[in-house]
Amino acid sequence: MNVIFLGPNGAGKGTQAKLLQEREGLPQVSTGDILRRAMADPDSPLGTTARRFINRGELVPDDVMIEIIEARLREPDTTRGFVLDGFPRTIAQARALDDLLQAAGHAVDAVVYFEARPDTIVRRLSGRRLCRAAGHIYHVEFQPPVVEGRCDIDGSELYQREDDREETVRHRLSVYRRRTEPLVDYYRSRGILETIDAEADVEEVYRALTEILAARTR
Ligand code: AMP
């Protein structure tokens, strides 16, 4: 099953995609994680490009992103399905994805739209922490680790993303509204859009999500 997670930053897409991967074995393809890994390597040309855009809360250009996703979807773990978390973010990316999947005899099966209010998003993002080793996600208030500052799963250090500072978060939200929100109608008009109330807690959202996906595969 090929699924897209759509919705503003901080709506919980990454958290849910990681759970689906752990519990159902559906690989999470997170373009944000791919870019952050490149940024952690001082010799990576992709990392240098990505840093320029990400730290300002801007989108990385479409041609760069399309190339990344083409390469990632060629890897064998995605042939039986995947969750795209953070891609597509523009209409041009959505069209390129359609072409890519069509050429391989596949299609997008479902798009899950995570709906959340702006104040929820700002609260979630400003308390969000990630682990250095694998990007496991925590929240200082809502989902603290057992040992402060350390990942429960792999023990690596937790850090705050530079683009999770409040001012950058607000800018990212306005970019989201302008560039990414039009994708809601793009997929709704095809009858594959499902909306989830992303205000609920992690396990409640996960339950709703698995129900939606089960109904779509029936
Ligand atoms: P995320 O972890 O999904 O919030 O992504 C972090 C940042 O990476 C975004 O704010 C963008 O700057 C960049 N990024 C990730 N995915 C994309 C994409 N599909 N198109 C453009 N920029 C992206």
**Do the Cβ atoms of 182 and 91 come closer than 8 Å?**
yes
| Beta strand extents in the chain (DSSP E only) | 2-6, 28-30, 82-85, 110-115, 128-131, 137-139, 158-159, 193-197
Query: Coil, strand, or helix at residue 2?
Result: strand
Ligand 1 proximal residues by C-beta, below 6 Å: 9, 31-32, 35, 53-54, 58-60, 65, 86-89, 93, 163, 172
Local structure of residue 157 (DSSP, 8 states): B
Predicted structure pTM score: 0.91
pLDDT of residue 61: 98
Which of 55, 89, 136, 175 has most ligand 1 atoms within 8 Å of its beta carbon, as the pocket-test mutant? 89
Taking the centre of ligand 1 as the mean of its atom positions, its distance from the CA of residue 9, in whole angstroms, is: 9
Residues 6+ apart with CB under 8 A from 134: 151, 153, 154, 156
Selected catalytic residue, list 13, 18, 124, 129: 13
pLDDT of residue 107: 94
> Residue of the nearest CA to atom 5 in ligand 1?
32
The identity of residue 13, as a single letter, is K
Report residue 93: phi and psi, to 5°. Answer: -65, -40
Taking the centre of ligand 1 as the mean of its atom positions, its distance from the CA of residue 53, in whole angstroms, is: 9
Q: Which two tokens stand for residue 130?
A: 């990630």
> Residue of the nearest CA to atom 8 in ligand 1?
32
Domains of the chain, each with CATH number or no CATH: 2-216 (3.40.50.300)
Taking the centre of ligand 1 as the mean of its atom positions, its distance from the CA of residue 136, in whole angstroms, is: 17
Taking the centre of ligand 1 as the mean of its atom positions, its distance from the CA of residue 161, in whole angstroms, is: 12
pLDDT in tens, the chain (218 residues): 999 999 999 899 999 999 999 999 999 999 999 999 999 999 999 999 999 999 999 999 999 999 999 999 999 999 989 999 999 999 999 999 999 999 999 999 999 999 999 889 988 999 999 999 999 999 999 999 999 999 999 999 999 998 898 889 989 999 999 999 999 999 999 999 999 999 999 999 999 999 999 998 87
**Angle, to 10 degrees, between the axis of helix 166-175 and the axis of helix 118-126?**
140
Q: Is 13 designated active site? A: yes
Secondary-structure breakdown of the chain: helix, strand, coil percentages, each rounded to the nearest 5:
50, 15, 35
Cis peptide before 27 (omega within 30 of 0): no
Q: Give ∠ CA 9-156-198 in degrees, rounded to 5.
A: 25
pLDDT of residue 167: 87
